[in-house]
Amino acid sequence: MALSDQKQAWRNLDGIDDAQGQNASARGVRVYTDLDLFFGQNNRTKDINVLTDVQAVKRAVRNLILLNVFEKPFHPEISSGVRDTLFENMTPVTAIILSRHIEDVIRNFEPRVDLVGVYAFPNLDKNQYDVSIEFYIINTPTELVELTLPLERLR
């Protein structure tokens, strides 16, 4: 038996090849999951739908943006202040303040996101701000994700 054959035999006994094969598989990648808060029913399992990866992170970012002070139990510090800003006069300066609030809450409380930019545009005809958020998800840094939200005052 040649020296290289002996090394190959020892590798197979040690399980090194198996570990390398598992590290290259898709099982080693972290998958983000979240419940569908609209409580849609999965037709096959008759359970609540589960959001995965990009959709789960998008939903988490959206929920962070719409969160008010004291809405999250035991964590009053987690809030964006967006709803307070929506009742200000609709000006370009208010749009900049609104985008800054959104940037702060995402950078502070969403660790799965690498934020690229937040852009808020006042839409005077509909009395709302069109907010566009661009970010990368930490596990998939090659795919730029864009989330577009219309933010309006509700009375």
Domain boundaries defined on the chain: 31-152
Residue 88: pLDDT over 80: yes
Q: Kindly tell me the burial class for residue 139, based on how many C-beta atoms sit within 10 Å of its own C-beta (0-12, 13-18, 19 or more).
A: middle
Q: What is the distance between the alpha carbons of residues 103 and 122, in angstroms, rounded to a whole number?
A: 17
Residue 114: pLDDT over 80: yes
pLDDT of 39-49, one tens digit each?
Answer: 777 788 877 77
Closest CA to 26 of 59, 56, 53: 53
5 sits in which H/E element:
helix 3-14
Query: How would residue 25 be classed by pLDDT, with cut points 50, 70 and 90?
Result: very low
Collapsing DSSP to helix, strand or coil, 3 comes out as helix
Pick the CATH number of 31-152 from 3.40.50.720, 3.40.50.300, 3.10.450.40, 3.30.70.580: 3.10.450.40
